[in-house]
Structure 1
Amino acid sequence: MSSSALLPKPQMRGLLAKCLQVQIVGAFVVALGVAAAYKFGVAEPRKKAYADFYRNHDSMKDFEETGKAGVFQRAKNSLDCAP
């Protein structure tokens, strides 16, 4: 028996295309997995937290409390600041 009968011939033509096809499919699957993980792990909980916050949020009450704390200062007419 010759050694050529025992070993299969290597694939020379189309090897790059075949490897790229497998890698592109793998990259696509990984990208979809990362996008789904971000959507359900970050974006959805963030949207729910914002919705819960604004459901019971009273902006006028918040404004009044901030004013009582002394955060705001009275702004005079802009012409009064001119030298």
Structure 2
Amino acid sequence: MSLPMPAMRGLLAKRLRFHLPIAFGLSLLAAAAFKYTVTEPRKQAYADYYKQYDAMKEFNAMREAGIFQSVRPSGE
């Protein structure tokens, strides 16, 4: 009794027909998961931060701390 010959002709096409849709589906799932677990909360955090952000208040705090070399603190 001999072993049957392996089916080598068309093997790649047969395997791709099975694995390509799975890989495509998993990549879409990973992209959607990343979008909704990472980027959406990050965008919301930036929006919340800049809703209450006062640029002049931050500038004055940095000026009082002496961070800027070209701007004198208001006490001088």
Task: Identify the residue that residue 6 of structure 1 maps to in structure 2.
Answer: none
1:15-70: per-residue Cα shift (whole Å, max 9, x none)?
Answer: 22111111111110110111011100110000000000000100110010011011
Between the two proteins, the alignment pairs up a number of residues equal to 69
2:41 is the counterpart of 1:54 = no
Give the partner amino acid of 2:45.
A
**Identical counterparts, % of pairs:** 50
Looking at both structures, which has the greater relative contact order when contacts are Cα pairs under 8 Å and sequence separation is at least 6? 2
Query: 5+ residue gaps in structure 1?
Result: 4-8, 76-83
- 1:71 aligns to what SS in structure 2? coil
Give the partner amino acid of 2:63.
G
Cα RMSD between the aligned structures?
2.1
TM-score scaled by length of structure 2? 0.77
After the TM superposition, which segments of 4 or more aligned residues of structure 1 sit over 6 Å from their partners?
A: none
Q: 1:16 to 1:72 in 2, by over 3 A?
A: same
Give the partner amino acid of 2:68.
F
TM-score scaled by length of structure 1? 0.72
Task: Identify the residue that residue 32 of structure 1 maps to in structure 2.
Answer: 28
